[in-house]
A and B are shown apart, each in its own frame.
Chain A
């Protein structure tokens, strides 16, 4: 199957420093690819190149098989794009903006009306449809931008921080919307909200200082947390010392550490489920004085921090400092 989005060694230099370097990936129909990375990592720049706004210094991108450099308009017809910050003509109303985009995209006849209605509903901007965009709240502006991107029911959606500035309910709605559309489309979203990646994305791309540092499923990323699958036991203080050597011998245990009132048993990679079963079994058989036991999941913020702060390449001076996750 031909990928719907294909970035081929995309590189962009601004005044000598590479903001994006050799970024290659592909997104197939049915996939939601989450684009993660610290501020200034190059997420928006990559999206600008894929959508034909910025010409790459090297490399190219294909949208539905159309080269963005040589078949720009064919590619642009097939993609919907929400640029960073959701820019929109402030003096227009959401309806006016959608009509304009429909005109440029050549939507006509009955289909035009149907599509405008559908986009207004999907992005839930009906309530403000005749209010100038300048006077809308930040969240509504973002949703108008989203409606604009959805207007022609494109095969490819590229959304730069689609849930930025939305309230929790709206975030939930937009995620539901994206999930509903996912089966029929290829979707690339960038975000700083890590739980969104877990909730939404079938794959994650982590980019730091312009280069891809990880390309895997969210579940795989979680496994990179050293504490992923660790079994945590709360043990009565008096019995703790006696328990430690026993835990060392449990099959599947890699290390045992005391941390405050808790004992943390880290698993041998790949034996997370095993470890929990063995610990609970031994616990019951020998009637350990344990008041609580649970297994820890990997935390994406820990993985994110490790991926984006280690192996530090020369930092371009224009880079914003990495944001604390």
Chain B
């Protein structure tokens, strides 16, 4: 695992070597809080919780996460450093995991920086901390799943813009399949089992479950298998397409 950790360290350092990290964190925080306060009717709802914040998060992640993941592999291929990386004595899997964990840790930092919101609600009332913790876990898992998808899409191409669009599209599909818009369209004609099946695929459904404050193994498993599945796909793509 030492090589994976070396890759992890290198990636983290490279986030902060450019303005990327700061731009990303600032935009994330500004958007997350302003959406919460202005569109989420944070005060008007008169409740000491972070429901508004977590409701907007998936839609925010939908375009911020692809921006973070697009360079993971596309950039290595474009600059040719992939040849340097993959002729070092490390397994492709180590490189894939190291890169993924670095981007995930970075997302976690973003989430952690939103912590003042927790203080705000604690001052305003007595929030249910269990709900906040479960929601935060959900947010973390959701960003992990999006990043794993982004990593696979980034391995497909040397063009970061293409990686961004592909990732955003796939993430949108697995998110939107849980919205009432989609389930509603099915509900009119399809049996309930089909509707549940479709929404069971949705990241939004599982995220909403966690937002209720109950950490159910099925929801964690859902995100876990998305992450592991897409990381395996990434390793496969990198191995097959590295020299093209």
B80 CB within 8 Å of chain A: yes
Q: Does A51 contact B87, Cβ atoms closer than 8 Å?
A: yes
Within the assembled complex, what's the spacing in Å between the Cα atoms of A52 and B9?
A: 24
Q: Does B17 contact A83, Cβ atoms closer than 8 Å?
A: no
Partner pick for B80 among A77, A85, A105, CB 8 A cutoff: A85
Within the assembled complex, what's the spacing in Å between the Cα atoms of A74 and B3?
A: 14
Partner pick for A106 among B2, B9, B86, CB 8 A cutoff: B2
Partner pick for B7 among A73, A76, A104, CB 8 A cutoff: A104
Known contacts A54-B243, A87-B79: A92-B87 contact under CB 8 Å: no
Q: Does A148 contact B84, Cβ atoms closer than 8 Å?
A: yes
Top-6 shortest CB links A-B? A103-B6, A87-B80, A76-B89, A91-B17, A83-B83, A73-B89
A96 CB within 8 Å of chain B: yes
Known contacts A100-B6, A106-B2: A92-B84 contact under CB 8 Å: no
**Residue among B17, B79, B80, B88 with most chain A CB within 10 A:** B88
A88 CB within 8 Å of chain B: yes
For B10, list chain A residues within 8 Å (CB): 89, 92, 96, 100, 103
Q: Does A81 contact B87, Cβ atoms closer than 8 Å?
A: yes
Chain B count of residues within 8 A CB distance of the other chain:
24
Within the assembled complex, what's the spacing in Å between the Cα atoms of A72 and B239?
A: 13
Q: Does A96 contact B13, Cβ atoms closer than 8 Å?
A: yes
A48 CB within 8 Å of chain B: yes
Interface bin, chain A = 20 to 34
Within the assembled complex, what's the spacing in Å between the Cα atoms of A103 and B95?
A: 13
B5 CB within 8 Å of chain A: yes
B34 CB within 8 Å of chain A: no
Q: Does B89 contact A92, Cβ atoms closer than 8 Å?
A: no
Within the assembled complex, what's the spacing in Å between the Cα atoms of A85 and B86?
A: 16
B91 CB within 8 Å of chain A: yes
Chain B residue with Cβ nearest A132: B17
Within the assembled complex, what's the spacing in Å between the Cα atoms of A172 and B75?
A: 34
Shortest CB distance A93–B (Å): 9
Partner pick for A91 among B18, B88, B91, CB 8 A cutoff: B18
Partner pick for A48 among B7, B88, B243, CB 8 A cutoff: B243
Within the assembled complex, what's the spacing in Å between the Cα atoms of A54 and B14?
A: 27
Q: Does B84 contact A52, Cβ atoms closer than 8 Å?
A: no
Q: Does A53 contact B6, Cβ atoms closer than 8 Å?
A: no
Question: How many residue pairs bridge A and B at CB < 8 Å?
Answer: 73
B90 CB within 8 Å of chain A: yes
For B91, list chain A residues within 8 Å (CB): 73
- What 4 additional pairs, Cβ within 8 angstroms, besides A83-B84, A91-B18? A52-B86, A74-B89, A81-B84, A87-B84
For A48, list chain B residues within 8 Å (CB): 83, 243
Can you list 11 A-B pairs, Cβ within 8 angstroms, ordered by A?
A53-B87, A54-B243, A72-B89, A79-B87, A87-B81, A88-B81, A90-B79, A103-B2, A104-B2, A104-B6, A105-B89
A101 CB within 8 Å of chain B: yes
Q: Does A104 contact B90, Cβ atoms closer than 8 Å?
A: yes
Find residues 1-32 in chain B having any chain A CB closer than 8 Å to their own CB: 2-3, 5-7, 9-10, 13-14, 17-18
Partner pick for B87 among A52, A106, A132, CB 8 A cutoff: A52
Shortest CB distance A154–B (Å): 11
Proximity bits, A46-80, B CB within 8 Å = 1, else 0: 00100111100000000000000000111011010
Q: Does B243 contact A105, Cβ atoms closer than 8 Å?
A: no
Chain A residue with Cβ nearest B86: A53
Within the assembled complex, what's the spacing in Å between the Cα atoms of A76 and B242?
A: 17
Shortest CB distance A161–B (Å): 13
Chain B residue with Cβ nearest A45: B243
Within the assembled complex, what's the spacing in Å between the Cα atoms of A96 and B90?
A: 18
Within the assembled complex, what's the spacing in Å between the Cα atoms of A317 and B89?
A: 35
Known contacts A54-B243, A103-B9, A104-B3: A89-B81 contact under CB 8 Å: yes
Within the assembled complex, what's the spacing in Å between the Cα atoms of A91 and B71?
A: 13
Shortest CB distance A232–B (Å): 48
Within the assembled complex, what's the spacing in Å between the Cα atoms of A100 and B10?
A: 7
**Residue among B14, B81, B87, B90 with most chain A CB within 10 A:** B87
For B14, list chain A residues within 8 Å (CB): 89, 91-92
For A106, list chain B residues within 8 Å (CB): 2-3
